[in-house]
Structure 1
Amino acid sequence: MRMRRGAPIAAVAGVGAVTAMLAGLVTNTASAQSRWPGWLRWLQVHPWLSFVMLGAATAGLTALLALLDGHRTEVQGHDPTSRRVDAADPPGAALVLRSLPRDTTAFTNRTAELNSLVRSVRVAQENGEALPVHVIDGMPGVGKTALAVHAGHILSDRFPDGQLFLNLNGHTHGRNPVQAGEALAALLAATGVPTHQIPVSDDVGAVTEARAAMWRSRLADKKALLILDNAASYQQLEPLLPGGDECLVLVTSRKRLAAHEEVVLPVDALPPEHAADLFVRLSGRPADELDHGVLNELVRLCGYLPLGVSLLAARLRHHPSWKAEDLHERLVAEQDRLGELRAGERAITATFDLSYRDLTPERQRVFRQLGLYPGTDLDAYVGAALGEVSVVVARRHLDGLYDDHLIDEHPGSRYRLHDLLRDYARGLASEGDSMDHVQSVQRLCMYYLSALADANGHIVRSGASVPPPPDAPRQVETPVLQSRADALNWLENERANILACIRRANSLSLYDAVMRMAVAMAPFLRQAGPWDQAVGLHRTAAGAARQVGDRQALAHALAELGVVRRFMAAYPEAVETLNEAVTQYDAVGDRRGKADALNQLGIVWYLTADNADAARAQTEALTLYRELDYRLGQANALADLGMVWRQMSRFDAATEAQSEALSIYRELGDRYGEANSLRDLGVVHCLTGAYDLAARHHHEAFDIYAELDDREHQAYALNESGAVRRLTGDIEGARAAHSQALTHFTELGDRFGRANSVRLLGVVERVSGDAHAASRLQEEALDTYRELGSRGGEAASLSELGATRGVLGERAGAIEAFERSLEIQRALGDRCGEAELLNHWGKLLVSSDPADAREHFQQALRLAQDIHCPLEEARALEGIGRCDLVVDGPVRAEDLLRTAVILYRRLGANSAADDVERLLVSQRG
């Protein structure tokens, strides 16, 4: 691959070099002051030939570049996902059913198609062959989805690892086809992948590739069934195809999708006799009561399409007094009225019209409103909001429309319109007042804002502000959410519909609704992700705020965008966005908003180890929170400031700030904040040698995180606990804790946390004697820290890498790592890290240059005593003692070494103390 890419580049470079040379020759061709060597002199004698060759070379270079650019464009043109995210484009979300939709009663005999499909699957499985993609194509209303779902139910036992159904909206009027990246995110989440682990990026092409790779890996050894309904093109569905040979994919599409590995099952209109049988079965009339001539004419007028036949039969069933002849008369009259339509359109639309006109005026209105619904599926609460009726009435209407075959039922008491019926309902609605569309979306937004306020009451932290419900003119009925689990489940089910509603509101210039719904969705998307979806939402909200000149709303949108950018480890973008949010909050005099944005800025600067800026931001935020008497804000700023002080080795200040934060969190009953402060206090106690207290705090924090089902912070607590275990001699306990944390971080997609686990495992491997494994782990962690821009992590890994290289005898590489780490440590003000590094460096030099080693240990000792870090103090004393032992013998070294032993014993670092005591005994011998 590299050679293929390099060849065109080499060609361009070669032609460019020739061109440059010829240009030089032409420029100097008239010069008589020098004689050119060899064959070049011939060109000097024939200058016009130089011009000709220059022109040819330039033309060749231009053609080659055009060819390469055309090839690149062609490749990009084949990838519909290669574009970057449009900042003004509202986000979308795909809805995946984790089980198959209900098998329809309207399904009729498709024996040939079913037998072909089942036989193909059975033969492939029995022969151990890869299952091909099966594409079911045909015209609208012919029953493609019904066939796929029916086949899925028949084959479900062969695919015990799950059945998934995804509507790709390939031909849904008024809705964009589902993008591959969006569909992959929904599929990954549906199969149990935590949303924090799903890859995110602004580059749509890159993130689609990453998600597709994860999806293929996820199903590599699974037997699962996937129905991709309503596909627009092969390019749309290709990234969604599983990697496992034992997964069955059924695709439905109105188009003939071409791919060499697929099995195509074309579905035509029903044979006349099957269409008649379906009509008889659904009409509820005995076959001998129906005139067969009239019956055959009825199904012919429906175009033999199952959808039309079902609707027509339902009409007869709901009118016991009618005869088939009555229905035929009405259908002929309806088709005559639709004479301007094509024959196929006239057939299906006539059946729709008959069914619609048979509804009561109130139910007709409900059906029209469903045509304006921007979401994928709906329940009775959404139906009530659309129709301006009670939930009881809405449920009655939806059940009635289902009985009339005008809507489909999905699991969980939810409903969905067939695409053709959606188009028909939308057309009916467009014939009325144009304001109906706007008002319907406004009512939906009002409903979702009310329901989101209830959900946020369960998921927003104690003491934090919950986005308020709308000022509704009447009470809005919302689902009863009794717990955090209920709220998260409702939000996940409605995610795609809410985002579709925001998209529609934005297209109708309902900017106030867009801004308010973005605020209301922010807490959920912060926690649940995927974060690129949140980025799209908050960019849309920011665009809406700019449209109406609402600087307050713009500040909110920018602040949320900055937070999500932090989650994505896009730190420069996070700083830029949050700084703009601070400016906007200042402009409108919102001190609480400004404090929140400063607090988030401080966190970003802490993560990038810009400690001075972090401390300044948190101090300013704390001052504002105290002026506002906002206790949760005070606790957050104190906790975050404590982490900055700890990172700067100001342990007393860190303990004071974190202890005050802990007190406020407990006063507010904020368990999450309490756990965070306990964990960071444990880190400080570990650094100051209070290992028992550190272990207790970490254990308490872990228990609270487990109670909150917060796996990410459980992993952080495990890493801190593992460090204490290692320092107190429990190497296997440390390895187990870091390994478990690594698993959590990997599953959650937290790259920074994962890098921490890898680095700490590297330390464990070094102290347990496997320096080669330690070196590999530190290199991996170092690469990640550098990619994330984490200078603190980079410095810590370089320090450990230097120590590991020293064990391996790679002196030059060790010193190089130490020098770079020391440069970063001093720039960050991390004196504890600097002391640890100097001790590592001194240890490297003891045998070869004890005087230089002693100087490094003495620097470490001064730092450790200044910041009250007893472990590094003991290590420095031990190092100085070992240097004196080499230079002057045991007499001068013994006191220093015994002092080191006392400190090690006091800390509980018994393994280090034992090593020094063995050294003392050996010297006496």
Structure 2
Amino acid sequence: MRFRRGISIAVVAAGGVVTTMLVGLVTNAVSESEWPGWLGWLQRHAWFSFVLLGGLLVVMTVLAALSDSRTTVRQPESAPQNEAEPPGAALVLRALPRDTAAFTDRGAELAALVGSVRAAQESGEALPVHVIDGMPGVGKTAFAVHAGHVLAQRFPDGQLFVNLNGHTTGRSPVQAGEALASLLSATGVPAGRIPAGDDVGAVTEARAAMWRSGLAGKKALLILDNAASYRQLEPLLPGAGDCLVLVTSRKRLAAQEEVVLPVEALPADHAVDLFVRLSGRPAASLDRDVVAELVGLCGYLPLGVSLLAARLRHHPSWGAEDLRERLLAARDRLGELRAGERAVAATFELSYQDMEEEHRRFFRGLGFYPGTDLDAYVGAALGGVTMAEARRRLDALYDAHMIDEHPGSRYRLHDLLRDFARGLADEGGSSMEQTQAVQRVCLYYLAALAAANRHLVRRGAVAPTRPDEAASVETPRMESRAAALGWLENERANVLACIRRASGLALHELVIRMAAAMAPFLRQAGPWDQAVGLHRTAADAARHTGDRKARAGALAELGVVRRFMAAYPEAVEALNEAVEEYEAAGDRRGKADALNQAGIVWLMTADNEASARAQTEALALYREVGDRLGQANALADLGMVRRQTGRFDAAVEAQSEALSIYRELHDRYGEANSLRDLGVVHRLTGEYEQAERRHREAYDIYVELDDRTHQAYALNELGVVRRLTGDVVGAREAHDQALERFTELGERFGRANSIRNLGALERVSGSATEAVRVLEEALSAFRDLGSRGGEAAALSELGAARWMLGEWDEAIEAFRRSLDLHRELGDRCGEAEVLNHWGPLVRASGEAEIARGYFEEALALARDIRSPLEEARALEGVGRCDLITTGMTLAEGYLRNAAALYRRLGADAAAQELEELLAPRAG
């Protein structure tokens, strides 16, 4: 790039030289007088002077280019990401891990940390980052966890533990953006609120800002374990100074305002005391000099001391001298290692050789595990044994200090022991053995995901396991949606790590199936850019296998997630490609699903013609294959398109058929959606009582399903009905509740609708200034989303509010743009509404005849689509124009018809105003 830029600069410079010389020569030639002083010499030596000037220009240009290349701000480097690379995730614990029994006296270090924290809190100063560094195996994590337990009461707003995998064999360090997503999710942030996108740097910054905002004013404890670099952890640091951050790392991290707490190997006497305590032997029975030699042989590292003591405890017949002989023999076998590695590796070797062969084989198998932590179910799959046997072997490894215990009956390997297990596996196993171990774990996760998805998927459980596979796999019991979601959140990082390893081993079929099985959870829980990465990986895997149906499924899921992210062009692109792939694979149901999803995107972007075409084709395909749920979905979505284009009778017909099928299938979610949309149609046709009943029925079902997003949509619709029937207080309450929920859930489209509805409420309440402010916010939100329908509706309301303020030019511009958009979208009800808003402004400007034309056009539209509210408004508008131009004689009929319609609709205030206007005539 710099080379090309240099060529461009050179061309420009050469052009400048030529231009300068030509201009100079012309100037010299036409000059009739001699230039004064030294300029005269330049005039007499024109060629020399102009060549010199051109040369100076070249030099200055080159210098500017060099300066530019040296001073260009360099963007932070990030690991290049292959679009098809599986996503990662951080393991986050919402509470501290168990305090280890092997923790020994770190009195000086602990006193320094507690004193630092106490001093900062008592003085009101910001708590600095405390970095705990030291060599592997020295006990950094154990110290951080122990200190966390000691300090927990000072941080009542929560304790979080994050493993950043900075030095974990077989795992890439967790990227800051991934860690932030996991932290936000662990602290209860809904998927829709977690920033997502393709710009990794921008997304990381946005997530960091949200993380800091969420911790503002709170006192929380955050342990960032196993950090690789300061750049990795910097975005994770809270902005507020009331939170304590403990960082462990093998490296000295260059953090600003940090407090470094180096953790060294244990003092000799402390190491001896720890050994004695963990060995279970009376101190008097042990030769302290021999014990001192033992702990020295393992480098005084707590990890090594713990392992040695465990060996002695499990061999009552051994003495300390027996243990020393075995340790010396192990060190000799590991003589090629560096001294520091040899010290602790010898203890590993001794403990490993001391185990039964079945436990050694099981431990080697742990070296193949891609995840960070595991339970007995994963252990059974990994070792190819029963659950009972896996529990027994895990307990044996724990008793031997070869694995650590985590909350929830889970276990993990210390990084050094993971290295050791991986080395043993590589030494004694084969690539086929590793592949088979990963396959067994993936098949377990497929079976467990199928069990979880029974609580998440409407069409029935995703069944990624085959009968012969499922028969040999034991999975945890998940008897509720909450249990399924809890299991999925706990296993997210491990499942994604397994998919990543499977992708690296070219196990493409497993990658495809696991991505499909994770899709329902990631749709709901996010973060959605994690889901995007996963489905791209699956699509790439399907391309490798030539499985066009699988590729279509991955692309369809990608399109759905892109829709959730409000990335509508990308969603349509993925779904269109999915349709093509399904077509090529001859999968009509899959094609119908993709068309149905594409139709939803087009509806949201108000491309009603494309949406209707897609849903009609999807409906025909569903009917061909006999898919009743698919038929109901397509009918429901087609009903929304018809409602959007003012075909209210057709909309009711489609939604009623969809509702009947949903009830036949006992699909409560679909039933609620159809009820809600029928309520919208009833409201547009002036059947307000029936509209409110439908919305209440839908809301009750959403409460039953614990679907907060759609509860908010139902509340929004209830608010509109209440506003139209004069219940301003009830309307505000409903819209406020909806706005609060949409904001909490990160549902941008629903939030924009709530804001627009509140703006309309301010307008009808007479607060025009506030209405303009709120509607401007809604307009901006709809434009950001690319929602032309939302933009059109907001502009219509904004024009009416600006007219109330006397801002006529701005009002006319808003009406004009709104009318154009509604006509482009085919929204005839919206078109009539704009004309009815615009007419009064024209009439008030003294052009009653022109205004009457607006109202007549609105009247024709309203009668054509059967919208009684817009018909009443148009009749009133025509009548008032006639009252100005010809008097009451012609106006009376229009006004009386408008009043009658208002009464029928329950708009009593509007009816009474017209009746009072007509009263003198009646008298």
Task: Give the TM-score category using the shorter length.
Answer: over 0.9
Amino acid in the other structure paired with 1:90: P
Matched, 1:758 2:755: yes
Tell me by how many angstroms 1:924 deviates. Answer: 8.3
- Counterpart residue number, 2:458: 461
Structure-1 separation of matches of 2:527 and 2:237: 21
Q: Does 1:24 align with 2:36?
A: no
- 1:340 corresponds to 2:345: no
Task: Name the structure 1 match of 2:441.
Answer: 444
Give 2:128's aligned amino acid. Answer: P
Alignment partner of 1:793 out of 790, 795, 798 = 790
Aligned pairs for 1:687-702 (under 5 A) are: 687-702=684-699
Q: Give the AA of the match of 1:412.
A: G
Hey, what's the Cα distance between the residues in 2 that align with 1:34 and 1:680? 82
Q: Deviations over 1:682-720 (max 9, x none)?
A: 111111111111111111111111111111111111111
Name the amino acid aligned to 1:913: A
Q: What does residue 562 of structure 1 align with?
A: 559
Where does the alignment leave 5 or more consecutive residues of structure 1 unmatched? 1-12
Tell me which residue corresponds to 2:5: none
444-453 or 378-387, which deviates more: 444-453
How far 1:28 moved relative to its partner? 4.8
Match of 2:4 in 1: none
Equivalent of 1:411, from 401, 407, 411?
A: 407
Shift of 1:380: 0.2
Q: 1:287 aligns with which of 253, 277, 283?
A: 283
Question: Which one is further off, 614-623 or 259-268?
Answer: 259-268
* Conservation of the 8 A alpha-carbon contact between 2:226 and 2:249: yes
**Superposition pairs of residues 382-401 of structure 1, within 5 angstroms:** 382-401=378-397
CA distance in 2, matches of 1:435, 1:140: 31
State the one-letter code of the partner of 2:856. Answer: Q
Alpha-carbon deviations, 1:844-865, whole Å to 9, x = none?
1122121111111111011001
Give the deviation of 1:798 after TM superposition.
1.1
The structure-2 alpha-carbon separation of the partners of 1:142 and 1:868, relative to structure 1 and needing over 3 Å to count, comes to same
Deviation at 1:891, TM superposition (A): 3.6
1:710-754 deviation line (CA, Å, top 9, x unaligned): 111111111111110110101121111111111111111111111
Superposed displacement of residue 59, structure 1: 4.2
1:100–1:149 contact (8 Å) kept in structure 2 = yes
- CA change 1:371–1:470 in 2 (3 A) is farther
2:143 & 2:795 partners in 1: Cα distance?
60
The 8 Å contact of residues 215 and 238 in structure 2, kept in 1 or not, is answered as yes
Q: 1:243 to 1:298 in 2, by over 3 A?
A: same
Mapped to 2, the partners of 1:16 and 1:781 lie a distance apart of: 49
Instruction: Give the length in aligned residue pairs.
Output: 909
Contact 2:595 2:614 survives alignment (8 Å)? yes
- Closer, same or farther: CA 659–139 of 1 in aligned 2, 3 Å: same
Matches within 5 A, 1:206-355: 206-355=202-351
Q: Which residue of 2 aligns with 1:668?
A: 665
Q: CA deviation at 1:69?
A: 4.4
Amino acid at match of 2:864: D
Q: What do the CA deviations read for 1:406-452 (whole angstroms, capped 9, x no partner)?
A: 11111110000000000000000001222111010010111111111
SS at match of 1:75: coil
Q: Deviations over 1:850-899 (max 9, x none)?
A: 11111111110110011000000011111112212222333432332221
Structure 2 residue 52 is matched with structure 1 residue 49: no
2:297 partner amino acid: L
SS of residue in 2 equivalent to 1:864? helix
**Partner amino acid for 1:853?**
A
- DSSP 3-state at the match of 2:135: coil
370-379 vs 465-474, which moves further: 465-474
Of 551-560 and 655-664, deviating more is 551-560
Quote the Cα distance in structure 2 between the aligned partners of 1:470 and 1:205.
Answer: 44
Instruction: Report if the CA contact (8 A) 1:162-1:223 is conserved.
Output: yes
Give runs of aligned pairs for residues 854-869 of structure 1, distance below 5 A. Answer: 854-869=852-867
Deviations 1:346-375 (A, max 9, x none): 110000011111111111111111111100
1:480 is matched with 477
Q: Deviations over 1:468-489 (max 9, x none)?
A: 4464285211111112221111
Contact 1:456 1:467 in 2 (8 A): no
- SS of 1:92's partner is coil
| Cα distance in 1 for residues equivalent to 2:32 and 2:556 | 68
Name the SS for the 1:460 alignment partner.
coil
For residues 613-637 of structure 1, give each alpha carbon's deviation from its aligned partner in whole angstroms, at most 9, with x where no partner exists: 1101100000000010100000000
Distance in 1 between residues matched to 2:386 and 2:824, nearest whole Å: 64
Q: Check whether the contact 1:375–1:497 (CA below 8 A) recurs between aligned residues.
A: yes
Partner residue in 1 for 2:3: none
Quick one: distance in 2 between partners of 1:50 and 1:778?
62
Counterpart residue number, 1:75: 74
Q: 1:562 to 1:100 in 2, by over 3 A?
A: same
Alpha-carbon shift at residue 588 of structure 1 (Å): 1.1
Contact 2:535 2:557 in 1 (8 A): yes
User: For the residues of structure 2 that align with 1:19 and 1:192, how far apart are their CA atoms?
Assistant: 61
Displacement of 1:48: 4.4
Within 2, Cα distance between the matches of 1:632 and 1:158? 54
Paired position in structure 1 for 2:492: 495
1:805 aligns with 2:808: no
What letter corresponds to residue 909 of structure 2 in structure 1? S
Residue 867 of structure 1 aligns with an amino acid whose one-letter code is I
**1:553 is aligned with what amino acid?**
A
Who is 1:892 aligned against? 890
TM-fit CA distance, 1:345 = 0.8
Per-residue deviation, residues 490-538 of structure 1 (Å, max 9, x unmatched): 1111111000000000001111110111111111111221110110000
So what's the TM-score if we normalise by structure 2? Answer: 0.95
1:782 counterpart letter in structure 2: L
- Paired residues of 2:403 and 2:412 also in contact (CA < 8 A): yes
Aligned to 1:152, the other structure's residue is in SS state helix
Specify the code of the residue in structure 2 equivalent to 1:193.
V
Cα 1:800/1:354, change in 2 over 3 Å: same
In 1, Cα distance between equivalents of 2:470 and 2:652: 51
Counterpart of 1:222 in 2: which secondary structure?
coil
Q: Is the 8 A contact 1:449 1:470 kept in 2?
A: no
Name 1:547's counterpart in structure 2.
544
The residue type paired with residue 781 of structure 1 is: A
8 Å CA contact 1:579, 1:601 repeated in 2: yes
- Could you say what secondary structure the match of 2:469 adopts? coil
CA deviation vs aligned residue, 1:133-158 (integer Å, no higher than 9, x gap): 11100000001101100010011011
- Describe how 1:129-140 pairs up with structure 2 within 5 A: 129-140=125-136
Moved more, 495-504 or 886-895: 886-895
Look up the equivalent residue of 1:871 and give its one-letter code.
Answer: L
> How is 1:65-104 mapped onto 2 (pairs within 5 angstroms)?
65-72=65-72, 75-76=74-75, 79-81=76-78, 85-104=81-100
Aligned to 1:9: none
Paired residues for 1:826-905 under 5 Å: 826-848=823-845, 849-905=847-903
Q: How does 1:112-127 map to 2 (within 5 A)?
A: 112-127=108-123
Which residue type is aligned with residue 24 of structure 1?
Answer: T
1:549-628 to structure 2, matched below 5 A, reads 549-628=546-625
Residue 462 of structure 1 contacts residue 669 of structure 1 at CA under 8 Å; is this kept in 2? no
Separation in structure 1 between the aligned mates of residue 891 and residue 258 of structure 2, nearest angstrom: 79
Q: What is the CA-CA distance between 1:68 and the residue it aligns to?
A: 3.5
Contact conserved, 2:194 with 2:207, CA < 8 A, in 1?
A: yes
Q: Is the 8 A contact 2:450 2:461 kept in 1?
A: no
Q: Where does residue 367 of structure 1 map in the other structure?
A: 363
Distance (whole Å) between structure 1 residues aligned to residue 246 and residue 170 of structure 2: 25
Is the CA contact 2:192–2:565 (under 8 Å) kept in the aligned structure 1?
A: no
